Amino acid sequence: MDIKTFAFAAATPPLSVIAAAKLAGISPSVDTSLPPDSSPTFLFSNGLKLHGASVLLRYVGRVANIPNFYGQDAFEATQIDEWLEYVPVFLSGPTFENGCKYMDQFLEKRTLFVGHSLSIADVAIWSSLAGTGKRWESLRKSKKYPNLARWFNSITEEYGSAINEVTTKYTGKKSADPSVAMPAVADQVKTVNGDLSAKGGSKSSADIDLPDAEVGKVCLRFAPEPSGYLHIGHSKAALLNKYFAERYQGKVILRFDDTNPAKESNEFVDNVLKDVDTLGVNYERVTYTSDYFPELLKTAENLIRQGKAYVDDTPREQMQKERMDGIESKNRDNTVEDNLKLWKEMIAGSERGLQCCVRGKLDMQDPNKSLRDPVYYRCNPMPHHRIGSKYKVYPTYDFACPYVDAIEGITHALRSSEYHDRNAQYYRIQEDLGVRKVIIYEFSRLNMVYTVLSKRKLLWFVQNGRVDGWDDPRFPTVQGIVRRGLKIEALIQFIVEQGASKNLNLMEWDKLWTINKKIIDPVCPRHTAVIADRRVLLTLTDGPEKPFVRIIPKHKKYAAAGDKATTFTKKIWLDHVDAASISAGEEVTLMDWGNAIVKEIQKDQDGNVTGLIGVLHLEGSVKTTKLKLTWLPFIDELVNLTLVDFDYLITKKKLEEGEDFMDVINPCTKKETLAYGDSNMRNLQRGDILQLERKGYFRCDAPFIRASKPIVLFAIPDGRQQTK
């Protein structure tokens, strides 16, 4: 049985299957026209189909003319199955590094994952690691997981020619790093909602120019602090950098602004790298502000020697008040010798040094308070996540940023307009340091209703158990909203529609989820669920004596979604709310079956419907019935579901300045409902998006493992459902 066509979405090529097929010498015709998020498919010459990367890998493993590609016996084949199931698990969220650690330990005394020759498990794991792009590459080069890196490098070296051929063809890169390159931002938007520039309304980023920008010479930087995961506000900055870099054929540097060891960690670095890859931002290299600590120390000392900075031991609260009132510090006119003496105490982290900071000597009378002798350096005895306890003093963001921007060759620094008052400070520091001037380009900060974006506040929710982690679906983090079911294409379109506007705006989530619905509705498969609580049996007296199965499309307008098996039985389950809305003698439509007439309604002593009796009327017209009902067969193969709905974390649409978010915390933000689903849902994978007919869209967060453990489905807002 020959494979006639291998079909998948061009934006998300299944690299593991492509690589496995190449190694196995399987070369069907390739169709890359499937919509985004479609399952990769093998279409056979006899019309049969197989769907899903894991299924296709297993098929290739079984038919490949490669010794032991699917194991030499049943035990090894089962081991391979275990690894294929493990791949999507270790790729998810914060478990990635744990997965790398586990595999590194597993490979300590092994050359390959299963047996003594290349298997489909090696191909799947290699492709998955390589597909994460710089996220894995940074770990590989760090030598943190030497056994896993050794294995990865050996596969790359031995099968490099095939890998490079596949990589070049499907990702456009001649390297063993088949990370899936996302299309340009403007192209992505056109594919999901037409050309924005042709629409009325707000100006898109396609209409915005960078001042004094030259094609091929633009260098930008995206500089998050590794003190949390990226959220939707950061994504605007990241995607605007991506857009302008593409437009001017320039480059983006990803720089971690790691100047505060008290807040930062390697966990946050790893997850920012993951989030940037998720957003599809291609960057030239990763740098850290801490790379420049030696130069920044010398620079600060030079300013002290030149009389452009001084050491101050004024208590913090008093200093803040004096800055507000324009009062000069008593230490402002200290001698250079006294300042250098205290500076050495700060560098040593002595008790005296811990009382001090370095301030720039700018202008204490300037109406712009950011110029009133800002702090350049502070002591912090906590170890740094990269360099340990080497330093006891750290530069502030305000001091380090203008220096590092200039040294790294940044031509344009994109900053949100909340920093507008600090622009004069930025340029003054560059002037005092004698470095090249960098052009600042402002855009408005993205604010969302019923949402806090402060990392400090988000951290409070994590530490106090109000959410399950930084990737909680209630969080506005990139991982949180993706886990809730948002497609990155929708986020990109939403951001691009805002453009680089400088107008402050408070955006509704409904608009974002409406865009998302337009993307997922045309392609996501349809399934059926019945709420477990008080579900009602409808007995069809003329129904089939023996159950029979009919194969029907999962999506009537999108064949690539595949097919599902629907069982028809004499007794069927209905939602209680549907059963309660039926009148005796009423004709209703049973979706995907036909009409039926309800003859009798059974109720308990409280008037609750407990059972229905009816007859089929398949010749009846579905156009004449008021009720179109979803149903499930009365069989043991139904799966248990937990349907999860989420609400906003705070109850106020917009927090006013100075208002305490803890006063408006929503006490109930998560609701779980038990349900039963059709048996086809056993094949759902984590991350799959589906529609439960008449109930809405959902994302599978926990797939089927065993009958006693429910499949967990997260409800996806569709822009019409009012969460508040």
Output Rg (C-alpha) for the chain, integer angstroms: 30
Q: Report whether 591 contacts 693 (CB < 8 A).
A: yes
Question: pLDDT value at position 207?
Answer: 52
Average pLDDT of every residue of the chain: 89
Q: Which fold has domain 3-168?
A: Glutathione S-transferase Yfyf (Class Pi); Chain A, domain 2 (1.20.1050)
* Superfamily covering domain 536-574+576-629: Ribosomal Protein L25; Chain P (2.40.240.10)
Taking only the tens place, the pLDDT of each residue in 469-518 is 999 999 999 999 999 999 999 998 898 777 666 666 789 999 999 999 99
Alpha helices in 408-546 (DSSP H): 423-433, 455-463, 478-484, 488-498, 509-520
Which tops the pLDDT comparison, 167 or 377? 377
The answer to whether residue 180 scores a pLDDT higher than 80 is: no
Q: Which two tokens stand for residue 563?
A: 């097919």
Question: pLDDT value at position 157?
Answer: 78
Most trustworthy range by pLDDT among 47-51, 210-214, 320-324 = 320-324
Question: pLDDT value at position 134?
Answer: 72
CA-based max dimension of the chain: 101
CA-based nearest residue to 127, from 56, 233, 47: 56
Which tops the pLDDT comparison, 206 or 58? 58
Within the chain, all domains assigned CATH 2.40.240.10 are found at 449-525+636-723, 536-574+576-629
The answer to whether residue 179 scores a pLDDT higher than 50 is: no
Q: Which two tokens stand for residue 634?
A: 């009365």
Sheet holding 375-379, edge to edge: 309-312, 357-360, 375-379, 393-395
Within the chain, all domains assigned CATH 1.20.1050.130 are found at 3-168
* Superfamily covering domain 449-525+636-723: Ribosomal Protein L25; Chain P (2.40.240.10)
* Superfamily covering domain 290-397: Glutamyl-tRNA Synthetase; Domain 3 (3.90.800.10)
Lowest-pLDDT range of 98-102, 190-194, 493-497: 190-194
Q: What average pLDDT does this structure show over 534-548? A: 97
Question: pLDDT value at position 505?
Answer: 72
**Reported confidence tier of residue 114, pLDDT bands at 50, 70, 90:** very high
User: In the chain, what percentage of residues exceed pLDDT 70?
Assistant: 91
Taking only the tens place, the pLDDT of each residue in 363-395 is 999 999 999 999 999 999 999 999 999 999 999
Give me the DSSP letters along 204-264: PGGG---TT--TTT-EEEE---SSS--BHHHHHHHHHHHHHHHHTT-EEEEEE----TTT-
